[in-house]
A and B are shown apart, each in its own frame.
Chain A
Amino acid sequence: MPAASSGDVDLLESTANAVSASARTDALDRFLAEVEVKAFRIAQTALHHEDDAMDAVQDAMLQLVRSYADRPAEEWKPLFYRILENRIRDALRRRTVRGRIFAWLPARHRGDEEEEADPVMDAPSDDPPPARRLEMDDAVQALEKALRSLPRRQQQVFLLRNLEGLDVAQTALAMGCSEGSVKTHYFRALQALRAQLGDFRI
């Protein structure tokens, strides 16, 4: 069998690279599909705004795919949440600046960017929800309110550990801090939530 020329080798390498890139894209698709809804809830809890949360998650997806797709798959989750946290921080910073600017404008202009209420979306359902659902509704609202009252770092560590299930090391990587800080923030978050929610029976 004749030896392959350098052109053939290049072609084989290109084809192999294309195949591995396709497999990587599939793996990324599965990973993002797994985390996207939880990531949205985390962003929404931090930003209290659906579109801002959606923008933050979309930016994080793009950044992960563009810059970190070549990294081992087990690193994707902490990296993704690190990027998301940066996007959330940027959005909060922009909002603070915008708030300062709008504070100088007459009051009637301030509500311009607020979302208009959608009567169809907000209309109560005719079907009376079962008692269990009502109980869960109350629990979700109470926890959301309590989480929003937490300092950002405590909120973040609590959601990453409890909602996303990251361990201490992954949470430290996602938050860009030491494992000791993660434990401290988590303990304080737990104490603050317990103080607000009591035993939190559901």
Chain B
Amino acid sequence: MTVHEERDSEFERRTRTVLEESVARVDSRIRWRLAHARRAALMQEETRLHRSFWRSFGLLPVAGTAAAAALVAVMLWIDRPERSAPVGEGMQATLEDIDLFADGETLELIEGWERGFYEWAVAQAELSGEASG
């Protein structure tokens, strides 16, 4: 290291000491305001994250309703009396139906169906029952 570089690094060391002293002298009022600003920034971010976290729970009731509706539809389909297919075939169809209704995209479609459909389906099942009985 040359004499000039040594003088520079000594100068840098002194200026660093003075700069650190100037930071240490920042009064408590300023420090309080800075801490307050930091908490405000972090709180804003936390609020945003919490909102997105709870939004995922908000979809659960909708999915539950759709799943219940799908289950009713499947039960009605199974109880149709004119169905006389072999047990193995019936089970296969039921499993396919469950797969169909368990599919996320299908559930979204079911949400759009009206209650009239189910009433009609129940009425059809009853009529079929009377006709066969």
Pair A140/B34 contact, Cβ less than 8 Å: no
| Inter-chain contacts of B45 with A (CB < 8 A) | 25, 28, 65-66, 69
Cβ-defined contact, B26 with A41, below 8 A: yes
Contacts of B49 in A (CB 8 A): 18, 21, 25
What is the size category of the interface that chain A forms with chain B? 35 or more
Chain B residues within 8 Å of A64, by CB? 41
A14–B54 Cα distance when bound, in Å, is: 9
Binds B, one of A86-94, A97-105, A168-176, A192-200: A192-200
A150 at the interface (CB under 8 A from B): no
Interface magnitude class on chain B: 35 or more
Chain A nearest Cβ from B98, distance in angstroms? 13
The segment out of A54-62, A109-117, A177-185 that lies at the interface is: A54-62
Shortest CB–CB separation between residue A35 and chain B, in angstroms?
A: 10
Q: State whether A136 touches B21 (Cβ < 8 A).
A: yes
B2 lies within 8 A of chain A by Cβ = no
Task: Enumerate chain B residues within 8 angstroms of A190, measured Cβ to Cβ.
Answer: 8, 11-12
Offer 11 A-B interface pairs, CB within 8 angstroms, sorted by A. Answer: A14-B56, A18-B50, A37-B26, A41-B22, A54-B37, A62-B40, A65-B44, A65-B45, A139-B21, A158-B15, A163-B23
Residues of B in contact with A (beta carbons under 8 Å apart): 7-8, 11-12, 14-23, 25-26, 30-31, 33-35, 37-38, 40-42, 44-46, 49-50, 53, 56-57, 60, 63, 104
Given A18-B49, A190-B8, A199-B11, A57 and B34 touching (CB < 8 A)? yes
Cβ of A75 within 8 Å of any chain B Cβ, yes or no, is no
Q: Nearest residue in A to B22 (C-beta to C-beta)? A: A140
**Which residues A7-64 have CB closer than 8 A to chain B?**
7, 10-11, 14, 17-18, 21, 25, 28-29, 32-33, 36-38, 40-41, 50, 54, 57-58, 61-62, 64
A143 within 8 A of B: yes
Q: What is the predominant secondary structure among interface residues of chain B facing chain A?
A: helix
Smallest beta-carbon distance A77→chain B, Å: 15
Shortest CB-to-CB span from B3 to chain A, Å, is 13
Expressed in whole angstroms, the Cα–Cα distance for A14 and B7 within the complex equals 57
- Select which of B8, B14, B19 is within 8 A of A163 by beta carbon: B19
Chain A residue, CB-CB nearest to B37: A58
Known pairs A17-B53, A25-B46, A140-B25; A37 contacts B31 (CB<8 A): yes
Closest Cβ of chain B to A3, distance in Å, is 14
B41 touches A62 (CB 8 A): yes
**For the complex, what is the distance from the CA of A150 to the CA of B33, rounded to whole Å?**
28
A158 and B18 alpha carbons, distance in the complex (Å): 13
B23 touches A25 (CB 8 A): no
